Amino acid sequence: MKKFALAGNPNCGKTTLFNNLTGSTAHVGNWPGVTVDKREGVYKKCAELVSIVDLPGIYSLSPYTPEEVIARNYISDDKPDCVINIVDATNLERNLYLTTQVLEMDVPMVIALNMMDAVEKNGDKIDARELEKRLGVPVVKISALRSQGLSELMDKAYNESKKQRFGITVLEESNIAHLIADVKTALTGEDVSNPLFHAVKLVEGDEIEVDMHKEVLGVVEAFKKTFKDDIFGTDFEALIADARYKYISEHFAPVFERKTKEKFKMTKSDKADRVLTHKIWGIPIFILILFAIFHLTFSEDFLFLGSIFGLPSLVDLGMADPITEEPLTYGAKWLSVVYNGGVMSPGVMINNLWNDIMVGELFGWIQGLVEQSNMSDWAVGLINNGIIDGVGSVLSFLPPILVLFLFFSILEDSGYMARIAFILDRMFRRFGLSGRAFMPMIMGFGCSVPAMINTRTLADEKERTATVRVIPFFSCGAKLPILTAIAGAMVVAFGAGNADLITFAMYILGIVVAILSVLFMRSTTLKGETPPFIMELPAYHAPQFKNLMLHLWDKTKHFIKKAFTVILASTIVIWLLTHFSFSWKLLEDEQVNESIIANIATLLQPLFTPLGFGSQLGEYGWVFVVAAIAGLIAKENVIGTFATLAVCLSAVGGLDFGSLVLDAADGVDAVRAMITATGITGPALIAFIAFNMTTIPCFAAVGTAKGELQNKKRFNFTLLFWLVSSYIVGAAVYTIGSWWWTCFIWIAVLAGIVTFVVLRNKKLAKKEALL
């Protein structure tokens, strides 16, 4: 099978083309650095099957970051049958810089002029035939997004793959042409493949090449000593880059005919950026957008209409029970989907529709069937209270997760996400990170695993380590059920404001903890220079419906798969542990305090007393310990565990559940049952969320962190860091929430630590200066 490699600058549309050619659904994002490793797919429409390899984006074949090394090594060492060089036609000159380097390799190649639709929309023209003549390789106009020109591109690539091609260089006209020719001759003598490419890189002083060709290094250095440029001196890298750009400007740029003669005309994106990336307004606008997203997803009082106009609730209208607040008629139930004292936000409407009408009815019907069967009580309990309530409570959060990620995908696809990295760079720089580190962090809102893998785009190892450590603080999709269920329960149980405000505040808390942690690490164990940040801001464009749906489909697929495997297995195990004693006796629901799990968790309970969910919660307080431990397997387990335990606790005599009509398959009800059974306070619940948000993440994320950190000591320290930071954050939230004046103690402790670090660093700097 032939192998074609897709190479090009970051964000030029390689993955979009890859998905179109292979029918894959790889993640596409409108920001540079989405792809961090090569991926393969098969194109079936040529005369024979063709393996397509999507490479990470690179600006040059002199790599700096790990993912750039992957792209370069693949083209240079794996010898694909053809390289399809994707060129962003809207940025022709800059993209051709990489082309001039690929041309130097002895590999067949085809240029794909992508985004031609955007060029034509701007009224500009590119003479592809002329460019083809000047480059000496086929040039095909395409639009990967609209699937235009792809067959022609693949046919040309297939034809080229049958031919042999030798590298050519645009440096022939430069003053170092003879130097390159001499080195090439020396390399050819050593039987090195791609001699021209390696010769140019050796002259540049490329670190990888210098390590690879030590045998000819002496000769190369001797050649280089005979040369000196008037402008660049012996800075060969700068000299070659300048020569390439000059050549591109003189020979290739003329094929681009602009509609307007003004070269630097402000585009719509530029105009939008004047506001969205403003040095003062940029961050407030970002926070406002983030709040709007949470409001649209979680608010039960959309646009605060209920609060502003004092709209009546269903109880006020006589349509719901005054004690339980349950709708009295089926019509009222439907009305409660969209209105109850306030208009529901779109996210809540979908959530209500899913939970009250669809899943609620379905699960209720199944549970009814199980109860009517002849199965024994324990089997009915296991199916209804263990499996259905446990999994149902997790599935009940699918709608808000999807709505939230739809908004995040829109931000990503539109190009705004890349701007956030840009506007945060100024702030991050003060904390020792570049804005580039923000991209993997924001990916952490989806899942920590790909986010940690994406840290490969960071060249500095210490910056990578710090970023990997704080990624779990960016609350992932799996933690959303914890946030939503507890926030919802707090609103009902304590009348605590709005669920959207609580959820939003917890996300912000995660970001603040991440920033403080980075600041601490970069001032102590991971000290180092903040790397420079250069990022190409992609043009804004309307999000692609297909991309958005693919993102959501990925999320749904994974969530449902996880619910019916890991979560289901966990709920079964938890049900067993709550229904068996150490003497292997089957227990009734109300005997839950004698269960294996209760006995073990009670031993650990005092450890969580400073966080508000320890010994002070009394005999049933162990439920929070069990949930937190179950969350280490998968964070969704926290609510699944509450649901399983809620049924047991509801059977315990002496516990007054008041107005709560328990539907354990509803995560909010499950948490309300925990509040009633344990008497946990609001601050302790917030501390519980904060602890779960910042503690050791799920098994999958821990495994990935281990792989990405590539150092056992560093990994062990990372585990300890997560444990300690979550404990401190939980304790701070609980104590400040319970006794506001303790904030002065925490501020004093923080000030003490900062002073100690600053003084220590000054002392160390003095010592270093003396040495």
Task: Please report, as ranges, the residues that interact with other proteins according to CB under 8 A.
Answer: 24-27, 35-39, 373-376, 378-379, 382-383, 446-450, 453, 477, 550-551, 554-555, 557-559, 562, 565-566, 568-569, 572-573, 580-581, 584-588, 591, 699-701, 703-704, 707-708, 710
Provide, rounded to whole angstroms, the least separation between the CB of residue 70 and other proteins: 9
CA distances for 551 relative to 105, 413, 676, angstroms = 37, 10, 39
Cα–Cα distance for residue pair 572/220, rounded to 1 Å: 68
Query: Nearer Cβ to other proteins, position 27 or 165?
Result: 27
Query: Nearer Cβ to other proteins, position 266 or 375?
Result: 375
Read off the amino acid at residue 703: G
Provide, rounded to whole angstroms, the least separation between the CB of residue 665 and other proteins: 18
Query: Nearer Cβ to other proteins, position 446 or 538?
Result: 446
Provide, rounded to whole angstroms, the least separation between the CB of residue 638 and other proteins: 18
Provide, rounded to whole angstroms, the least separation between the CB of residue 707 and other proteins: 4
Query: Nearer Cβ to other proteins, position 77 or 768?
Result: 77
Query: Nearer Cβ to other proteins, position 320 or 398?
Result: 398
Query: Nearer Cβ to other proteins, position 447 or 627?
Result: 447
Listed in sequence order, the DSSP H helices in 567-681 are 568-579, 596-604, 622-630, 637-651, 667-678
The closest of 689, 736, 730 to 484, measured between CA atoms, is 689
CA distances for 199 relative to 59, 76, 188, 245, 556, angstroms = 19, 13, 10, 19, 50
Cα–Cα distance for residue pair 245/557, rounded to 1 Å: 47
Cα–Cα distance for residue pair 440/226, rounded to 1 Å: 46
Query: Nearer Cβ to other proteins, position 168 or 552?
Result: 552
- Three-state SS letters, 36-101: CCCEEEEECCCCCCEEEEECCCCCCCCCCCHHHHHHHHHHHHCCCCEEEEEEEHHHHHHHHHHHHH
Provide, rounded to whole angstroms, the least separation between the CB of residue 573 and other proteins: 6
Query: Nearer Cβ to other proteins, position 41 or 341?
Result: 41
Provide, rounded to whole angstroms, the least separation between the CB of residue 350 and other proteins: 20
Provide, rounded to whole angstroms, the least separation between the CB of residue 711 and other proteins: 12
* Backbone dihedral angles phi then psi of residue 346, each to the nearest 5 degrees: -55, -40
Q: Which residues contact 123 (CB under 8 A, 6 or more apart)?
A: 259, 260
The closest of 87, 82, 114, 108 to 99, measured between CA atoms, is 87
CA 497 to chain centre: 30
Query: Nearer Cβ to other proteins, position 92 or 566?
Result: 566
Long-range CB contact pairs, 661-664, < 8 A, 24+: 661/324, 661/326, 663/360, 664/385, 664/389, 664/392, 664/393
Listed in sequence order, the DSSP H helices in 444-479 are 448-454, 461-470
Query: For 137, what's the count of Cα atoms within 13 Å in the CB-facing half-sphere?
Result: 32
Provide, rounded to whole angstroms, the least separation between the CB of residue 682 and other proteins: 32
Written as six digits, the tokens of 244 are: 């390439």
**Locate tokens 């501020």: which residue?**
747
Cα–Cα distance for residue pair 201/209, rounded to 1 Å: 6
Query: Nearer Cβ to other proteins, position 112 or 566?
Result: 566
Cα–Cα distance for residue pair 80/6, rounded to 1 Å: 10
Provide, rounded to whole angstroms, the least separation between the CB of residue 657 and other proteins: 25
Query: Nearer Cβ to other proteins, position 356 or 463?
Result: 463
Provide, rounded to whole angstroms, the least separation between the CB of residue 352 and other proteins: 25
Provide, rounded to whole angstroms, the least separation between the CB of residue 449 and other proteins: 3
Secondary structure of residue 580 in the 3-state scheme? strand
Written as six digits, the tokens of 104 are: 């130097």
Provide, rounded to whole angstroms, the least separation between the CB of residue 351 and other proteins: 20
Angle at 710 between CA 706 and CA 711, to 5 degrees: 95
Query: Nearer Cβ to other proteins, position 67 or 663?
Result: 67
Helix (H) / strand (E) containing 257: strand 256-257
Query: Nearer Cβ to other proteins, position 349 or 453?
Result: 453
CA distances for 750 relative to 522, 740, 745, 756, 762, angstroms = 16, 16, 9, 10, 18
Angle at 103 between CA 210 and CA 147, to 5 degrees: 125
Provide, rounded to whole angstroms, the least separation between the CB of residue 450 and other proteins: 3
Query: Nearer Cβ to other proteins, position 332 or 552?
Result: 552
CA distances for 678 relative to 173, 624, 665, angstroms = 81, 9, 20
Secondary structure of residue 125 in the 3-state scheme? strand
Give Rg (Cα) of the chain.
30
Query: Nearer Cβ to other proteins, position 52 or 515?
Result: 52
Provide, rounded to whole angstroms, the least separation between the CB of residue 362 and other proteins: 20
Query: Nearer Cβ to other proteins, position 443 or 687?
Result: 443
Query: Nearer Cβ to other proteins, position 168 or 459?
Result: 459
Cα–Cα distance for residue pair 99/8, rounded to 1 Å: 8
Query: Nearer Cβ to other proteins, position 453 or 649?
Result: 453
Provide, rounded to whole angstroms, the least separation between the CB of residue 53 and other proteins: 9
Provide, rounded to whole angstroms, the least separation between the CB of residue 452 and other proteins: 9
Provide, rounded to whole angstroms, the least separation between the CB of residue 679 and other proteins: 28
Neighbours of 749 (CB within 10 A): 12
DSSP string for residues in 495-539: --S-HHHHHHHHHHHHHHHHHHHHHHHHHTTT--PPPP---PPPP
Provide, rounded to whole angstroms, the least separation between the CB of residue 440 and other proteins: 12
What single DSSP character describes residue 144?
Answer: T
Written as six digits, the tokens of 690 are: 């904060």
CA 230 to chain centre: 48
Angle at 769 between CA 767 and CA 771, to 5 degrees: 70
CA distances for 355 relative to 160, 398, 560, 663, angstroms = 57, 10, 15, 11
